[in-house]
Amino acid sequence: MATTNPIKLTKTDFILFLNCGKSLWLKTHKPNVYPEGEFSAYAQKLAKEGYEVEAQVRALVATWADADRYSFQRVFEPGEGLFAKADMVRDNEDGTIDLFEIKSSTSVKDRNPHNQLKDAAFQTIAAKRCGEKVRNITIVHLNKDYVREGDIDPEELLTFADETVRVKALLAETESEITEAMALLSLDAVDETSCTCLHLSRNNQCDSFTYFNRNIPTPSIYSLPRLSQAKRDLFVAEDRISLDKISVEELTRLQQPVLKAHQSNAPYINLPDIENFLGVLKYPLHFLDYETYASAIPITNGVKSQSPLPFQFSLHVQSENGELEHHEFLADQAERPLALIEHLERTINPTGSIIVWNKTFENTQNKTMAADYPDKAEFLLGLVSRTADLMDVFLTGYVDIRFDGSVSIKKVLPVVVPELSYDGMDVGDGTAAMETWARMLSETDLAKRAEQRQALLDYCELDSLAMVKILKFVGALTSNNGTA
């Protein structure tokens, strides 16, 4: 039975439909139970940056001779349920219009979940249904090679990508998808026992996944790391989502420990893997954690759009006799990380292992800083050569089903070191650290600034201290012959 309520399909709704149609239906028909989910601090940061990039576009357009032909946030509402608000429109001399979509990314995204070409196609269709003739379609994004020097130069900051051909090639398909979306939204009821996200990895599932798939056990096949699309499709097709229906022989070496931990209802422990890790460590041990800031508009000179800028570190140094020292650095102004590097040089020993969690991230920062500061390259690349990734232990050496297939320190810590916790902290994750640091830099109330600074120090210190405690736990496994 069709609903009598008027249906409105926005650009945001349409992109949601492309990712999961039932999630859009739930958002429209049952907003009281729709899990808003991931409009998290990170999502809010992205939204804010979109407005910041648009402000730069406005500033640039204002300098053009034909600036009066451009307008912003023009609404196209053809009366057929569609609603679109174009970021920028040019009214051309021949009666046609050009559409511009403004993005805070450093490239054009052409795949789900953020398909900017489909985004532009939806806008184009809405404009055409309002009687407009669309000539050109441009996606404005950030220039990944732009390096700030002094005031922001919008002309250098922005890239105008002509996507007319690619977008127009999608119009027929998008028209059909809009029809499908409107038909779905017109329904008063849908099957609420599953959704197509069953075929997607956990990170790509819709916010409504738990609502539509209430019988999915925890853990499940979605707890298996790096499960291929073909294998996931097979398990779903055969109704083998529970790990109880999966055999070890069907899985890779990286996936098998998760299943074995589930089957035994006890941690999977591979002592040789753990001993190999411990065997390469050399004292003094340095437990290092960086915090970085990235933004659409480079925060200071010498920085690129969306490029991580190290602004903080926490370092715990442990001697062979167990003595522990703590060192830390937090930039009090937006600046390139030379002061951070120099402070690290003074506090880190010339020998001994550097222990991190996810060395790809930490080593990338070291390599980037080495390229930016050639006179510090020997020191920074030396850190890279001494780095050991504690996270690796929890891939195949020690796997607890309570990690739910994750090796995030936020998942591992409460299981193996329950006396330490991120719960209740004013800053509890990397995105919050970025946002807090940005607020701290502009805070004029000294008391508030001091609180924000301390919250950042506390968070980063816990990151490196957590590694100290986790390594102690790991070491005890070998001395206790594999029992925690």
CATH at 96: 3.90.320.10
Residue 37 shares a structural domain with residue 96: yes
Within a domain: 99:
yes
Residue 161 shares a structural domain with residue 222: no
Residue 308 shares a structural domain with residue 165: no
Look at residue 85 in the predicted model and tell me its pLDDT. Answer: 96
Within a domain: 23:
yes
137: nearest Cα among 178, 174, 180: 174
Residue 40 shares a structural domain with residue 152: yes
Within a domain: 4:
no
Look at residue 46 in the predicted model and tell me its pLDDT. Answer: 73
Q: Are 369 and 380 in contact (CB under 8 A)?
A: yes
Residue 437 shares a structural domain with residue 467: yes
CA gap 396, 475 in Å, rounded: 15
Residue 228 shares a structural domain with residue 110: no
Within a domain: 200:
no
Residue 402 shares a structural domain with residue 293: yes
Which residues on neighbouring strands pair with residue 356, listed in sequence order? Answer: 389
Residue 258 shares a structural domain with residue 392: no
Dihedral sign, Cα of residue 404, residue 193, residue 15, residue 229: positive
Within a domain: 199:
no
Per-residue tens of pLDDT for the chain, all 484 residues: 444 557 899 999 999 999 999 999 999 999 999 987 544 556 677 778 989 999 999 999 999 999 999 999 999 999 889 999 999 999 999 999 999 999 999 999 999 888 999 999 999 999 999 999 999 999 999 999 999 999 999 999 999 999 999 999 999 999 999 999 999 999 999 999 999 999 999 999 999 999 999 999 999 999 999 999 999 999 999 999 999 999 999 999 999 999 999 999 999 999 999 999 999 999 999 999 999 999 999 999 999 999 999 999 999 999 999 999 999 999 999 999 999 999 999 999 999 999 999 999 999 999 999 999 999 999 999 999 999 999 999 999 999 999 999 999 999 999 999 999 999 999 999 999 999 999 999 999 999 999 999 999 999 999 999 999 999 999 999 876 655 5
Q: Are 338 and 372 in contact (CB under 8 A)?
A: no
Residue 42 shares a structural domain with residue 157: yes
Q: How many CA atoms lie within 13 A of 476 on its CB side?
A: 10
Look at residue 247 in the predicted model and tell me its pLDDT. Answer: 97
Q: Which of 168, 185, 202 is the last residue of a domain?
A: 185
Within a domain: 201:
no
Q: How many domains does the chain have?
A: 3
CATH number at residue 402: 3.30.420
Q: How far is CA 317 from the centre of its chain?
A: 30
Q: Which of 231, 266, 301 is the last residue of a domain?
A: 266
Give the domain extent around 235. Answer: 215-266
Within a domain: 194:
no
Within a domain: 210:
no
Look at residue 44 in the predicted model and tell me its pLDDT. Answer: 74
260: nearest Cα among 397, 413, 415: 397
Q: Which of 131, 164, 185 is the last residue of a domain?
A: 185
Residue 296 shares a structural domain with residue 410: yes
Tokens 């650290």 belong to residue: 433
Residue 227 shares a structural domain with residue 292: no
Residue 368 shares a structural domain with residue 471: yes
Tokens 């139970």 belong to residue: 33
Residue 246, C-beta contacts closer than 8 angstroms, at least 6 positions apart: 221, 224, 235, 240, 259
Look at residue 39 in the predicted model and tell me its pLDDT. Answer: 47
Look at residue 41 in the predicted model and tell me its pLDDT. Answer: 59
